[in-house]
Structure 1
Amino acid sequence: MNAQLHLRCNHCILLPPTSFSSSHTFSVLNCSNENRIIGLGRLGLKERILADRRVSRRKNSCRLGIRASAGVWDGWMPEKSSKAPPLSDIIWPSAGAFAAMAMLGKIDQILAAKGISMTIAPLGAVCAVLFATPASPGARKYNMFMAQIGCAAIGVLAFTILGPGWLARSTALSAAMAFMIYTRSVHPPAASLPLLFIDGAKLHQLNYWYALFPGAAGCILLCLIQEIVCYLKENVKF
């Protein structure tokens, strides 16, 4: 008795329809996505070679299709975790952010007579990186200070050459991205420093001092607070 058999995985036909006899025994082939596929065990040499070639040719496309399909939806879902974080892992980073902004605000009161401020929006993003994700690449001290100083200087340079406007902002941001990638110092909050300088008239008086103040100077304070937050998270849990 002859019949036709299609060999399939979830995404593609791996082998063409094949005639076989009821006297034939069967073996099992594996697709790249680990689904089990029934195949003929007693194919001729030529058919076996063709089968192996077609299976190999489909492996990568099948694997990539499965990963892409899962990845599209995974990006819209929260990270899977076996349990919720302890309350202390929420309280201490939040308390650190409060302390950081309070201290920066107090420094602002001292510097008010000079018309400058330490409290800038990028430092809020730095707090989130340092206190909530201290093990991430963006929280590394090298990344933070290299990016803060370099991106701020790029902002001043772009404003000096191109003046205010969309061209200066676009050029400064693209140059800042290239700088962080080239120096392996990607620190996302630093990308906003060039835009802040170009659009902030009160910062123009700082000129190239802006590379150190207020971004890099503020990060020194935040690093000190981060050490306290990390100590409390490790030793005072509830």
Structure 2
Amino acid sequence: MNSAIVRALLVRGMLAGLCAGVLAFAFAYLVGEGPVDAAIAFEEANSHHAHGGEELVSRSAQSTVGLATGVLVFGVAVGGIAALAFCFALGRIGRFGPRATAALTALAAFLTVYLVPTLKFPAQPPAVGNPDTIGQRTSLYFLMIALSVLLGVAAVLLGRRLAPAWGNWNASIAAAVAFVAAVTVAMVFLPSGENAPKGFPATDLWEFRMASLGVQAILWATLGLLFGPLAERVLEPRPATATAGRGAELSAPVA
């Protein structure tokens, strides 16, 4: 795959990520802002420190412009990264076309980058948790992401190695079982993340985590479904010779 095609796919991946970010922002604003407001209200009601001075960014700006900026930038970034991952995966994970490869790449990224780490370190609303441990919790979360991605790549390589002897189906099952087992071991040995403080409403916590899951699911699903057709147009363009030939036949004089 030459650099011009990679560049074209990168641009289309970023465009697909932007569109996915728009849908994810709409969901986050409509569904996720309620639990965030509840978490902020809980933190203010249980804080023992007086809050002085005026806030630098208003809550309304945070929930609109700030949220949109963060989600859209994230969407464009993951769209570009997913496009590069698509270039690497195309033709290496099976005889799949551009659409199927894009969907499988997005699904794998959703599982390894978000879902698996979240099972170990569930999402927590802002203003909830001990600020003194935020650095440790962030490091553990990114460590879990790195382990999940590396184990996912190792599982794919294992499946490819076993496929000639075991068959594609059996090799895929074995690779999936090995991935789940390795991830389980990693979760057991890594320290647990900090839970929500006592008294925090369980309903608000559940709604926030479901909203976080929904944002990521919408983002990656839209990216996988939208990027596939865009990539297909780059990799499998319509033959210009056939179109030119038909045009010549129509314009030819009748004897």
Q: What TM-score, normalized to structure 2?
A: 0.39
Larger proportion of strand = 1
**Which structure is larger by alpha-carbon Rg, 1 or 2?**
1
Q: What TM-score, normalized to structure 1?
A: 0.41
Higher RCO (Cα < 8 Å, 6 or more apart): 2
Larger proportion of helix = 2
